Structures are given as structure tokens and as C-alpha cells.
Amino acid sequence: MIKFFYRLGSEIALSQSITEFAAIGKENMLWIDLVDPTGDEKRATEAYLDTEIQSRGTAEEIESSSRFSENDHAIFANTNFMSPTGDGMSMDTVSFIIVGGILATLREIPLRSFDSLQRRIQARPTQFPDGFTVFVTLMDQRIDLDADIVELMSKDTAQFSKRINQKEDINEEFLLDINQLQENVMVVRENIVDKQRLLSNIAKSDHSPESMDKRLAVLLQDIASLINHTNFTFERLEYLQDTVVGLINLDQNRIMKIFTFISLLLMPATLVASFYGMNVDLPYDGKWWAWIAILGLMVLLVAALWFIFRKKKML
């Protein structure tokens, strides 16, 4: 599917037919959005912009250090847009090309930030004089969504902390939940750093208009704040993880302490019983009160050990 936005007088019009490319001058074209395009749509866009558009496979294989490039007339950039899916995060690669003030985007699936911006462009056409403004606004909206994701993870971390303080379900499954959230925080941080690198390169580019310098600087400050927030959340999760491991170890030690105490408590009585269980002559054999005396001795030894443990505060 293809959508392109172009200036038509004081308004911004929308079209989805590649046959209209010939009737729209490049000075009026604003944004060409390709969503899982057909071969004809991609070739028509390449011919209109006089540049090659990367395939999805090529964009995904590009290393993070090479996600930005430029030549004499165009900027090429790739980044991933995050979205929560179940317990993890899904990544959708988006390619950007800026040629002579025209923005072209290539993606495989619908994205909320794109849809909301498209409605905003038609509602407020005067705010979008060129494709570079569209690109910066799109990244601004994406960073806001990333901030929402970071905030949700921070709230989840606070819930985990509350559960630990209230000692609710402190077990191995809870520890795995913390580990999963920690993994998500790392993925989010990596993605945000990728955007920081991308916008830094854009800001240093000769193709970047001076009018965008202030907005790019604000976006980079927002990203720096998000990185600090994710670092704090990650450190907090590490602390919670250590706390949960410590609590689990304490529970296990308490159980082992109980078993050890029971074994020690019964050891003297077991020793007496083993003596009188031998097939040899022992004192008081044959006396009718012998078993009562032996039983009393066992009880006395158990009580003595209990008293000693309690006095030494070992219980």
C-alpha cells in the first residue's frame, strides 16, 4: 500500500495512486509512505525520487553503527519501532529517505504513530512545510510512545517492589518475572540508544535545515532523560532480584534449620533407644518400670536440649 501527501494550495492532499506521481511536482510533494508495498509501488517511488529504496531484509541486516548514511542529495536512515507483545517487545524496522525535502518511509505493518501523524498533517497543514518537519515530528511522537513504555515498566517495577515488601508470592516464578522485565528494559534501552545515534547523525548532516536544530536538540535531551530513566529502572530491578534471591535463600535456610534442629533434638533420645535395643544385658533389664524410666530419660534429654537452644537464641 502507498500513501503520499502533497501540497494543494493551502491544504495537504492525500493520494494512493502511483499514476498521480507525474502530475505532482517535487516541490509540492511532502511525504511518501510505503506499507508493505508492491513491486510497482516501490519502483514508481524510486523513479520519482531518483534513488534506490532498501528492501526490508537489507534494512534489518544493517548493523546499528551503519543505520545512517547520506550522499550528495539524500539521507538514508533505519531504526526499529517497539511495541509490547505479551511478555516481551516486538521490533518493526522502519526505513527513512529524505530527498530534497521529501520524506519517504518504508515499513511492513501499520504503526500508531504514523496513523496519528497522517491525520494531524491534514488537520494542520501549515505546521508541515516539508518532509524534514514530518520526519522530526514523527520521531517526536515515537519518543513520546517510548516514554510511555518506560513509564509502564517503571510502574511494573514499583508493583514488584510492593509485592516484595508485602511478601506476596516470593518464589522462583516471581524471580523469572523480574528477569523478563529486566530483559525488556535492556531491549528498550538499546532501541532508545539507536534513536539517539540516528538523530545525532541527522543533526550533524549538511542536509539538515538550521530551523530543525532546536527541535533535534530537544529530542536528544528527551532521549537522554529516557536513557537515564531506563538505567535507574534496570538498577532497581537488579536490587529487587538480589532481594528476592536473598529472601528465597532465607526461607530455604529456615527450613534446613528446622530439620537440623529436629535431628539434633532427637539424637540423644535415639542414642538411648539404640542402647536398650541391643540384644545384650543392660541395667534394669527385667524391671517392670524400666521402660518408664527410659522414656522419661528420653523426654528429659529432649527438654534439656530445647532449653539450651532457646537460651542461646538458636531458635
Q: For cell 494542520, name the residue.
A: 124
- The CATH class of the 2-248 domain is alpha beta
Binned average pLDDT, 10 residues per bin, the chain of 315 residues: 81 79 79 83 81 64 61 83 76 84 83 82 82 87 87 86 76 80 87 87 81 87 90 86 76 76 72 66 65 74 75 66
CA nearest to 114, candidates 88, 89, 140? 140
| Contact in structure between 99 and 83 (CB atoms under 8 Å) | no
Say what the pLDDT of residue 51 is.
80
Residue 81, Cβ density class (10 Å: 0-12 exposed, 13-18 middle, ≥19 buried): buried
Q: Distance between CA atoms of 286 and 300, rounded to whole angstroms?
A: 22
Which SS3 state, helix, strand or coil, does residue 28 take? coil
List C-alpha distances in Å: 43 to 17, 50, 104, 228: 13, 10, 13, 42
Say what the pLDDT of residue 37 is.
80
Domain ranges of the chain: 2-248
Say what the pLDDT of residue 149 is.
87
CA nearest to 302, candidates 257, 274, 273, 262? 262
Q: Distance between CA atoms of 102 and 80, rounded to whole angstroms?
A: 21
Residue 37, Cβ density class (10 Å: 0-12 exposed, 13-18 middle, ≥19 buried): buried
pTM to 2 decimals?
0.74
Supply the angle between the helices 213-276 and 172-204 in degrees, to the nearest 10: 160
